[in-house]
Structure 1
Amino acid sequence: MLAPSRILRATPAQAGGGRDRWSLVEEARESIAAGSKSFAAASALFDPDTRERVWLLYAWCRRCDDLADGQDHGRPIEDHAPADELDAARRLRAIRLLTERAFEGLPTADPAFDAFGLVARECGLTREMAEDVIMGFELDAAGWRPRTEADLARYCYHVAGAVGVMMAVVMGVPKDDEATLDRACDLGIAFQLANIARDIAEDDAADRCYLPVEWLVEQDIEPGQLMKPHHRPELAEMAAQLVTLMERHEAAAKPGTRHLPLRSRWAVLAAARIYGEIGREVRARGTAAWDRRVVIGRREKLGHVIVALFEALRNRPPVPETMPVWNRGDILIDVRMAGPIAEPPMDPLPDE
């Protein structure tokens, strides 16, 4: 009889879990096309190599988000019951296990995680970077709500600022260039603040709220009454506060683009202008901001892309006089001190 060691062989570690790179890139391209038309359009401004790596990273972010929420490209799955606390914890554990396998170069049976393993190996993304992003999904799964502006900054860091850091590394920023990574974090936070301002009504319908509790208390808004018509003036005021914070992070982020290659600088500046316009349109609409969803039309987007090209060619972004109150260093200190969210007890997952 042959010895078992001659029959069973360990799975070899390979970037991308052994999948063909072209197929992973193509799956990632389809993911971004289905999940975010705006991001897909903006990615066309990158050079081909960077564009593919941005797609690979996006595919992982999108897949983690969908797994955490039980969705498909950000849309609810038909006849899918909302996840309870235990189910959500198991989903997060699965995300962490699959991500770890991707880092090890082992097959995950999921193209998005294999894609992440590939881009992580090519660009030097770290486990700590990935965990910072996963903690954002954990906050949402736990139904976490910010009590203070500092909490809001922490949330925005996890769900967008940490992604900005990873995107910067994908664009070629060295991992020890902390100043540029800080600016990339600022841009991600600015994007998320614009999203929060625009999506207040949608989040409220999903029983989520990312406005700090202390703001709601200051405005005398009763629990569950956020979207009532008589609170629209207060809501518009808080949205304006969000946009003011967004503009500070937006302005702080732009000097960091000086160190990016031209096409990456162009893409980032175009995205900054488009997301900034979303926030400013919410503020301009005032109490009517949530009567219909704020969108930026194709003509307006094209205008921002053209202006961003001239900004990228000139490459002299102004340095703001006032930096944001919350910066990446302070947020990371708070994150490390707070530690992970406690998970409820669960049965162990089957062995791999």
Structure 2
Amino acid sequence: MLAPSRILRTTPAQAGGGRERWSLVEHAYDAIAEGSKSFATASELFDRDTRERVWLLYAWCRRCDDLADGQDHGGEPTEHADADKRLRAIRLLTERAFEGLPTADPAFDAFGLVARECGLTREMAEDVIMGFELDAAGWRPRTERDLARYCYHVAGAVGVMMAVVMGVPKDDSEMLDRACDMGIAFQLANIARDIGEDDAADRCYLPIEWLVEEDIEPGQHLKPHHRGELTDMAARLVTLMERHEAAAKLGTPRLPFRSRWAVLAAARIYGAIGREVRARGQAAWDHRVVIGRWDKAKHVLGAFWEALRNRPQPPETMPEWTRGDILIDVRMAGPIAKPPMDPLPDEE
């Protein structure tokens, strides 16, 4: 005989879905150590509480990215046929994490924990998820403004969340703008470095209008006879990166010393990736650009003195892409949909 519904136990809401905090932190560290060696290096410079929260947030970002693409820590993406189902799962699990309900996935439980501890919002999370949605749909930017919006979703919005994790108030627009600039700078460096890998996965983040300006046929930008034009476009990406990088540093003086040091170290490492792509010229995609261990150590040391001096120089020209303008485009696209809470269909 079934028990009356009035005496059935409900699942209690707990930050982290009821998992032990130490186990979530351990899982999150493994995720960042495997997924991003550059960011893992910089993250070690934070104080312990901030460092662990940065790892918890990263674990969610990494897991969502893998789910959206059907990957495992950035491996080969799968077909886009079930992209809608995967995005639906991401939104459902993220909503459960916000509610403090168990998700059966430590990365989402980790997000629920850091969201509760730092006051991350559903709007912040949805801005990031929209970037995964663009990738899962095989989206490509037509204009430079499209590229700006993409960089915001996949990295600028993450920068905003990272700033809040570091203790920046959610209503401090100036600091969040600078954090967004830092994320965009990182993403521009990644795009410049990964042009060859993205092409192998049938992706291209160079705006179509840039390709048209260079008189490059669709899908032909990596052909040997277009290497000169491709080098010019990569240099254009790096110039944009440097502008956002310099603007982002204007926000670092208000961070605690160790957070400032970590952010500046990450900026130096990612900036070095972009500048190495530019320096290699037409050979930039023959071998993946990697910043070696000793070079990372030099950047960490340089960031220490930069953080100690704490006098960032403003860029000659502030970035054309601003968080405010991008958010207008994002919000005009429509309200954030309430995530579906009905169960996902069983696998066939």
Give TM-score scaled by structure 1 length. Answer: 0.94
* Cα distance in structure 2, aligned partners of 1:278 and 1:36: 13
Match of 1:257 among 245, 248, 252: 252
CA contact (8 A) 2:249 2:264 kept: yes
- 2:14 alignment counterpart: 14
TM-superposed deviation, 1:21: 0.6
**2:333 aligned with 1:338, yes or no?**
yes
Would the alpha carbon gap of residues 174 and 248 (structure 1) be closer, same or farther in structure 2, given more than 3 Å must change?
A: same
CA contact (8 A) 2:185 2:244 kept: yes
- Aligned-residue sequence identity (percent) comes to 85
Moved more, 330-339 or 205-214: 330-339
* Cα distance in structure 1, aligned partners of 2:5 and 2:237: 61
Amino acid at match of 2:151: C
TM-superposed deviation, 1:310: 0.7
* Cα distance in structure 2, aligned partners of 1:136 and 1:340: 16
TM-superposed deviation, 1:3: 4.8
Match of 2:161 among 166, 173, 184: 166
- 1:274 alignment counterpart: 269
TM-superposed deviation, 1:95: 0.1
* Cα distance in structure 1, aligned partners of 2:285 and 2:233: 13
TM-superposed deviation, 1:230: 0.2
- 1:184 alignment counterpart: 179
Deviations 1:64-84 (A, max 9, x none): 01111111111238xxxx233
Q: How does 1:1-352 map to 2 (within 5 A)?
A: 3-76=3-76, 82-85=78-81, 87-339=82-334, 349-350=344-345
2:251 is paired with a residue whose SS is helix
Deviations 1:85-143 (A, max 9, x none): 3x110000000000000000000010000000000000000000000000000000111
Spell out structure 1 runs of 4+ moving beyond 4 A. Answer: none
How many aligned positions are there?
Answer: 342
2:250 is paired with a residue whose SS is helix
Would the alpha carbon gap of residues 7 and 136 (structure 1) be closer, same or farther in structure 2, given more than 3 Å must change?
A: same
TM-superposed deviation, 1:299: 1.5
TM-superposed deviation, 1:24: 0.7
* Cα distance in structure 1, aligned partners of 2:105 and 2:80: 24
Would the alpha carbon gap of residues 340 and 230 (structure 1) be closer, same or farther in structure 2, given more than 3 Å must change?
A: farther
CA contact (8 A) 1:105 1:117 kept: yes
CA contact (8 A) 1:138 1:341 kept: no
CA contact (8 A) 1:136 1:155 kept: yes
CA contact (8 A) 2:76 2:201 kept: no
1:180 is paired with a residue whose SS is helix
Question: Structure 2: which 5+ residue stretches go unaligned?
Answer: none
TM-superposed deviation, 1:340: 7.8
2:282 is paired with a residue whose SS is helix
* Cα distance in structure 2, aligned partners of 1:170 and 1:126: 12
Deviations 1:176-226 (A, max 9, x none): 111000000000000000000011011011100000000000001011211
Deviations 1:266-298 (A, max 9, x none): 000011011111111111111111111111111
CA contact (8 A) 1:135 1:340 kept: no
Question: Structure 1: which 5+ residue stretches go unaligned?
Answer: none
CA contact (8 A) 2:147 2:207 kept: yes
CA contact (8 A) 2:138 2:203 kept: yes
* Cα distance in structure 1, aligned partners of 2:332 and 2:2: 53
Amino acid at match of 2:194: D
